[in-house]
Structure 1
Amino acid sequence: MKKTLRWRVAQSFEARWWKKYLHRKDVSTYLKWKRGYWDNTLNLINKNLGMQAGQDVLDAGCGPAGVFIALPGYKITAFDPLLDTYHQTLPHFKKEMYPAVNFVTETLENFNSNTLFDMIFCMNAINHVSQLEEAFLKLYNQAKPGGRIIVSIDAHNRQFFKYFFRMQPADILHPHQYDLPEYEAMLTTLGCTILQKELIKKEFFFNHYILVAQKN
């Protein structure tokens, strides 16, 4: 995997962002709120997931409080390139708080597992990778045939700003700038069917979507 300068800068700012964001948040209060957030999110897409206890679940780019915190009863692997940093600097994330989760400190492009997963979540993480095509291919290859790939993204609303942000690093946390049809195509060209598109939040530059895809 080629770690671009823009990606390295984005990762540095991502770690700082989490530290600043969580600085004054009580640990138990925040985690209770975050579990509720994930429960509500899963309810929006539940009809297209077919989740069953005991399935193999991957939380790709999990951050310090990914969907892994809201999935008891599943065999979960969660990875993120900043996991060790979060463990060392954030009281809100300690690996020992989740003894049933297999944590791996790795980038999406370099992650490898002998397990193929029934469900792969990549929530607000695909915008942060270094090599986007490699990252989508990794999600596809790690899913079982018929498995679900769930991706949440910030997708551009306006073509002018999409191209402007590609030329100028105005959006420092996100190395990649695409619109919704382009993100959908990255899944469908690999051989996935889009089962659901859910608009989560509408803003001026970006809309925040969840895509649920099935590996054919």
Structure 2
Amino acid sequence: MKLRWKIAQAAEIRWWQGYLNKKDKSEYLTWKKDYWKQFLKDCQLTLPPQATCLDIGCGPAGIFTILPYQEVDAIDPLLDSYAEKLPHFVPSDYPNVTFQNLPLEKVQLNKTYDYVFCLNAINHVADLEQCFDNLFSLTKAGGTLVVSIDAHNYRIFKHLFRAIPGDILHPHQFDLEEYQTMVTTRGGHIQATIHKDKAFFFDYYVLVIKKK
């Protein structure tokens, strides 16, 4: 699994370079911020000023981009590569955000957060069980954890992709029910399951979770 993760990470930065290569920085960030604002509306979340927030697997333009009044930490194992290779990501553009170049498995913070976001990231980690444990340990009791997932639609392809690297960017292959069970067995209450996008192999969902 570690080898699959390393291959996925190498493919991820190449994907970002190709995707952003011809996109104007200002136009792209405006579009992305509008996307995140609508995302919060879909989740029925309003984050108060001074709320503590963690953006795990933040990428070069994560939800941290629309949280200027909150206390934000943003963590991603490719942040150094983004800063070096993507002009769209300039950490100094976000003075209220503390960035750390770390995989989720190695995050050891002596704090918990009102809101923890793990968006477009949990499918990319090396150790899925450890990462879910960390997400819950980083969320305050009574706090909100928001996780987005690509969930398999068909059992046959789920098992096929587990056996062979048919989906190089995603080391983990699970269906919606399996992801929901990973949440509830850790004491999370799923407040909403939002069906964001439909495709053949995977549908894209967002789980809004309250930590008990």
Normalising by the residue count of structure 2, what TM-score does the alignment of the two structures yield? 0.98
Residue in structure 1 matched with residue 12 of structure 2 by the alignment:
14
Q: Percent identity?
A: 49
Residue in structure 1 matched with residue 58 of structure 2 by the alignment:
62
CA distance in 1, matches of 2:108, 2:117: 15
CA distance in 2, matches of 1:45, 1:147: 14
SS at match of 1:63: coil
CA distance in 2, matches of 1:73, 1:184: 31
CA distance in 2, matches of 1:199, 1:10: 25
**What amino acid is the match of 1:29?**
E
**What amino acid is the match of 2:35?**
Y
SS at match of 1:64: coil
Q: Is the 8 A contact 2:40 2:46 kept in 1?
A: no
Matching residue within 115, 118, 124 for 1:128? 124
Q: Is the 8 A contact 2:68 2:94 kept in 1?
A: no
SS at match of 1:130: coil
Q: How does 1:35-50 map to 2 (within 5 A)?
A: 35-46=33-44, 49=45
Matching residue within 2, 5, 19 for 1:4? 2
Please tell me whether residue 184 in structure 1 is matched to residue 155 in structure 2. no
CA distance in 2, matches of 1:203, 1:44: 19
CA distance in 1, matches of 2:181, 2:65: 30
Residue in structure 2 matched with residue 93 of structure 1 by the alignment:
89
Please tell me whether residue 166 in structure 1 is matched to residue 162 in structure 2. yes
Give 1:113 shift.
1.2
Which runs of 5 or more residues in structure 2 are unaligned? none
Give 1:79 shift.
0.4
**What amino acid is the match of 1:194?**
I
- Bigger shift: 85-94 or 106-115? 106-115
Q: C-alpha offsets along residues 3-52 of structure 1, whole Å, 9 cap, x if unaligned?
A: 71000000000000000000000000000000000001110012xx4521
CA distance in 2, matches of 1:208, 1:176: 14
CA distance in 2, matches of 1:99, 1:18: 23
Q: How does 1:128-147 map to 2 (within 5 A)?
A: 128-147=124-143
CA distance in 2, matches of 1:35, 1:61: 17
CA distance in 1, matches of 2:191, 2:49: 21
SS at match of 1:170: coil
CA distance in 1, matches of 2:170, 2:149: 10
SS at match of 2:88: coil
Q: May I ask how many residue pairs the two structures share in their alignment?
A: 212
CA distance in 2, matches of 1:69, 1:107: 20
Normalising by the residue count of structure 1, what TM-score does the alignment of the two structures yield? 0.97
Runs of 4+ in 1 over 3 A off after TM superposition: none
Q: C-alpha offsets along residues 161-208 of structure 1, whole Å, 9 cap, x if unaligned?
A: 000000010100000000001001111100000000001100000000
Residue in structure 2 matched with residue 30 of structure 1 by the alignment:
28
